[in-house]
Amino acid sequence: MKQVRPYPRLTVTRKAARSLRRGHPWVFEGEVLALEGAPTDGRVAANGDVVDVFEENGTWQGAGLLSENSKIRVRIVSRNANDRFDEAFWRRRIAWAWELRKTAMGGRNLPGTEPDTNCCRVIFSEADGFPGLVVDRYEDVLVAQVGTWGMERLRPTIYPLLLDVLRADGQEVSAIYERADSPARRHEGLDLHKGWWQGSPAGAGEKDAGAGAATGAGRDSSRVIVRENGIAYDLDLENSQKTGFFLDQKYNRRAVRELARGRRVLDCFSHVGPFGLNAAMGGAEFVRCVDVSQTACDLARENARLNGLELAEDGTLRMGFTCANVLEYLPLLRADRGRAREEGGPFDLIVLDPPAFTKSRSTVDHALKGYREINQAAMQLLPRGGYLATCSCSHFMTTELLSQAIAEAAHNANVQLKQIEQRQQAPDHPILWGVPETHYLDFFTFQVV
Could you give the residue ranges of the DSSP H alpha helices within 74-148? 87-105
pLDDT for the residue numbered 313? 86
First to last CA, the chain: 62
Active site residues: 393
The per-residue pLDDT of the chain, averaged, comes to 93
- 200 has a pLDDT exceeding 60: no
2-34 as b/e, with b when 16 or more CB fall inside 10 Å? Answer: eeebebbbbbbbeebbebbeeebbbbbeebbee
Q: Is-cis flag, bond preceding 346, omega within 30?
A: yes
- Which of these, 23, 13, 113, 145, lies nearest to 73 by C-alpha position? 13
Q: How does 155-168 read in b/e, with b if 16+ C-beta sit within 10 Å? A: bebbbbbbbbbbbe
Of the candidates 161, 154, 171, the one whose C-alpha atom is nearest the C-alpha of residue 207 is 161
Residues 6+ apart with CB under 8 A from 184: 147
**Cα–Cα distance measured from residue 255 to residue 275, given in angstroms and rounded to the nearest whole number:** 10
- Taking the C-alpha atoms of residue 379 and residue 449, their distance in angstroms, rounded to an integer, is 10
Q: DSSP characters for 292-312?
A: S-HHHHHHHHHHHHHTT-SB-
Label the pairing between strands 60-66 and 175-180.
Answer: unpaired
1 pLDDT tier (thresholds 50, 70, 90):
low
Rounded Cα distance, 57 and 67, in Å: 24
User: CA–CA separation, 281 vs 277, rounded Å?
Assistant: 6
Q: Collapse the DSSP code of 236 into the 3-class scheme (helix H, G, I; strand E, B; otherwise coil) and give the result.
A: strand
Cα–Cα nearest to 145, from 167, 101, 177: 177
Split at pLDDT 50, 70, 90, the class of 421 is: very high
Element (DSSP H or E) covering residue 369: helix 364-381
Q: Is the pLDDT of residue 250 over 90?
A: yes
Q: Domains of the chain by range and CATH?
A: 9-78 (2.30.130.10), 87-223 (3.30.750.80), 246-448 (3.40.50.150)
Is residue 266 classed as helix, strand or coil in its secondary structure? strand
**Residues shown for the chain:** 449
What is the C-alpha to C-alpha distance for residues 60 and 17, in angstroms, rounded to an integer?
Answer: 9
Predicted pLDDT at 244: 81
SS3 category, 11: strand
> Which residue stretches of 6-123 are H helix?
14-21, 87-105
Q: In angstroms, what is the C-alpha Rg of the chain?
A: 24
Band the pLDDT of 154: cuts 50, 70, 90: very high
Q: CA separation (Å) from 33 to 16, 61, 63?
A: 10, 14, 16
Please name which of 83, 62, 76, 73 lies closest in space to residue 34, comparing C-alpha atoms.
Answer: 73
Q: What is the pLDDT of residue 205?
A: 35
Q: 10 Å Cβ neighbour count for 295? A: 13
168-180: per-residue pLDDT in tens? Answer: 999 999 999 999 9
Q: Please tell me the predicted confidence (pLDDT) of residue 35.
A: 97
> Is residue 202 predicted with pLDDT exceeding 50?
no
